Structure 1
Amino acid sequence: MDSTARARLEDLGVSLGGYPRGRHNAITDVPGVLVGHATVHTERLNTGVTAIVPEVIGAGRRWIPAGLAVGNGYGKLIGATQLQELGAIETPILLTSTLSAYRVADALLGHMLSEPGYETVTTLNPVVGETNDGFLSDIRSRPVGAPEVEASLAAASAGPVAEGSVGAGSGTVALGFKGGIGTSSRTVTVGDGAYTVGAIVQSNFSGTLSIAGVPMPSSELVPGPTAQTVGNSCMIVVATDAPLDARQLARCARRAVFAMRGVGADFAQGSGDYAIAFSVGHSTPPDDAVLSPLFQATMDAVEEALVNSILTATTQSHADGHVAHAIPLDTVRERLAATGVVGVMDSNG
């Protein structure tokens, strides 16, 4: 592999946890879940929208079960209270920049109301999450709106997912490095059924990075001053085809937030750390007694998605001189090799 090329955790020979990755190691491994990005990169803007689209939502099925976990509530998660109260989502989930979240929510609402079968709808709950990309983007200009929303939804597709400095991750910073969008998936047996759980993240939080238990301090790995996280937040979306109900999905969402600690998150005072978990399954929910493998698979997928969001990100800068450096992959490889963390890593690290 070219040493200058970006890589994912699996490319480095590290297997996180005891469950196999899905075909694309992405949230799109869950049947009927699509992802699309709209990306804005200029001298003064690094921002965008990422759309997570459950295909099943539409005129024929207005909602699917979902659960919410709030790790720290310093954020602007639009639609959170109804999601929590009713245990359902009625729209795709969009991720974007903090001060553009309200424009994105309005555009998502307009998009849904224009869909066939929604002509008489008088109430709808758009779900839009955000993190703050103000270190690398002119966030006060609120540059993201309807064109980017429509572009992200139009681009939504199955298969491999673009990661790193794309979409809602274009201008984010994580653990002193350039952060961004990351994804991963696991296949797991729950009761008598085999299912997939996938995660996608928008990383923008502080702490000291750890990969497979190996410390990777940004102060030691990047030249010059390390990037400063603004807003200090993380959005996590988990999807599964296991037929969980809203209460069980909220339990999965809580495990998703727990996974942030595995990569070194410090859960600082001003963080907005949220996880939304939804199911596209149809059959009877399983008994809680068989959910432990799914919980572990969720944490593994989220942790790997967080790592991937950093490994795949490219260096980005702003006209005012701010720079967020991509993590140097050669150094990461050297540190993993020096500590023997290659090949299979068990769930306990």
Structure 2
Amino acid sequence: MSRTVKDFNLVCGILPQGPWNAITDVPGVRVGHCTLRDRDVNTGVTAILPHSGNLFRRKVGAASHVINGFGKSTGLVQVDELGTIETPILLTNTLSVGTCATALIRDAISRNPDIGRSTSTVNPVVGECNDGPLNDIQALAVTENHAWAALEAAQDGPVGQGSVGAGTGMTCFGFKGGIGSSSRRIELDGNEHHVGVLVLSNFGNAGDLVLPDGRRPSPKMAEPPVRAQEKGSIIIVLATDAPLEHRQLNRVAKRAGAGLARLGSFWGHGSGDIAIAFTTANTVEHDSGADILDMRVLNENRIDLLFRAAAEATQEAVLNSMLSADSFVGRDGTTRVSLADILRG
């Protein structure tokens, strides 16, 4: 069972959580992990599937926002030009982006043999963080089979958090980081909707973390935060079943940055901080022959609800990624303590 903010009486905001308090509270969204732990190899792959169908044939509306661009993700240019995602989203380490992209391409071709021949090519979406301090990243240990394993493991319900999948070798505010998730429940026109967040947390200087109750726990690393260079990264994936169009999704993605700021992050020069947002409510049929498509769109005067949900769920997901992770010994004996151990005293 993952440890979360609830176990430590920490409250992030005012909106209610979803039933699982995870990105999978958005109906149809599934998450899977493939974890690699073998001596100095501590890495993996995490897969987020917006729905269980053929994503190339039924694309979801999407957008991304680059908070700070020191990163090597792929697929974001087309996401922001066309406003859709047409593959699952994979998260992994920095040097495995190409491998995971190839795995997504092969998977899409196996389901859609016309890709690149009688129809368009496919745009794989992969996000990354550098797990080098705890993982022998030069080993290039992640293979296409590991990416497929994460896709095949995807399921709804509770999400594995902490040192799992892509989060296996990650560090956050000097503590052990990794995968974290959270969600918020909102009401629109009398109907229940959700905003769910999943993060791959690998950012923040030791000593900079601020908890919702004002405490500033530190793993007692030697270098004072005021002198340390911020070289980490975070990938934030936001999902909702509220009907948003591309521009609105981009606006919601930007508010993930507010959740990071609440934690004490300042998005340093060497940090790759990227948010990807999608909605399951507005889909685009690849084979549609219609000239004009119908699309439901949120009343802009109600969008503050989603802004708040994005900020709160991002803040909480990052904390969950640290609280769920046990203290860790990685490459060459490098250690990271668990935030949960520090808070338990």
> Residues 230 and 143 (structure 1 numbering): CA distance in 2 closer, same or farther, change over 3 Å?
farther
| C-alpha distance in 1 between matches for 2:144 and 2:229 | 27
Structure 1 counterpart of 2:204? 206
Structure 1 counterpart of 2:146? 148
Total equivalences in the alignment:
327
Matching of residue 104 in structure 1 with residue 100 in structure 2: yes
| C-alpha distance in 1 between matches for 2:186 and 2:180 | 20
Identity of paired residues, percent?
A: 42
| C-alpha distance in 2 between matches for 1:33 and 1:229 | 36
Deviation at 1:303, TM superposition (A): 0.6
Q: How does 1:1-349 map to 2 (within 5 A)?
A: 7-55=3-51, 57-58=53-54, 61-116=57-112, 118=114, 120-207=118-205, 208-220=208-220, 231-282=231-282, 284-329=296-341, 331-332=342-343
Q: Secondary structure at the match of 1:55?
A: coil
Deviation at 1:266, TM superposition (A): 2.9
Deviations 1:160-215 (A, max 9, x none): 00000000000000100000000000100234532101000000012311221423
| C-alpha distance in 1 between matches for 2:156 and 2:212 | 28
Pairwise CA RMSD of aligned residues?
A: 2.3
Q: Secondary structure at the match of 2:21?
A: coil
Stretches of structure 1 that go unaligned for 5 or more consecutive residues are 335-349
| C-alpha distance in 2 between matches for 1:169 and 1:210 | 21
1:169–1:202: 8 Å Cα contact kept in structure 2? yes
Q: Secondary structure at the match of 1:14?
A: coil
> Residues 201 and 322 (structure 1 numbering): CA distance in 2 closer, same or farther, change over 3 Å?
same
1:135–1:230: 8 Å Cα contact kept in structure 2? no
Deviation at 1:326, TM superposition (A): 1.3
1:100–1:144: 8 Å Cα contact kept in structure 2? yes
> Residues 126 and 40 (structure 1 numbering): CA distance in 2 closer, same or farther, change over 3 Å?
same
Q: Which amino acid aligns with 1:190?
A: L
Q: Which amino acid aligns with 1:174?
A: C
Deviation at 1:47, TM superposition (A): 0.3
1:216–1:332: 8 Å Cα contact kept in structure 2? no
Deviation at 1:118, TM superposition (A): 5.0
Deviation at 1:125, TM superposition (A): 0.3
| C-alpha distance in 2 between matches for 1:135 and 1:72 | 21
Q: Secondary structure at the match of 2:128?
A: strand
| C-alpha distance in 2 between matches for 1:24 and 1:136 | 30
1:135–1:229: 8 Å Cα contact kept in structure 2? no
Deviation at 1:80, TM superposition (A): 1.0
| C-alpha distance in 1 between matches for 2:55 and 2:324 | 37
| C-alpha distance in 2 between matches for 1:261 and 1:60 | 35
Q: Secondary structure at the match of 1:160?
A: coil
Q: Which amino acid aligns with 1:258?
A: A
| C-alpha distance in 1 between matches for 2:223 and 2:142 | 29
> Residues 270 and 150 (structure 1 numbering): CA distance in 2 closer, same or farther, change over 3 Å?
same
| C-alpha distance in 1 between matches for 2:60 and 2:331 | 43
Deviations 1:260-313 (A, max 9, x none): 111121311111100001000146111111111111011111110000000001
| C-alpha distance in 1 between matches for 2:263 and 2:142 | 30
Q: Secondary structure at the match of 1:28?
A: helix
Q: Which amino acid aligns with 1:250?
A: N
| C-alpha distance in 2 between matches for 1:15 and 1:8 | 10
Q: Secondary structure at the match of 2:281?
A: coil
Q: Which amino acid aligns with 1:65?
A: G
Deviation at 1:59, TM superposition (A): 6.4
> Residues 229 and 138 (structure 1 numbering): CA distance in 2 closer, same or farther, change over 3 Å?
farther
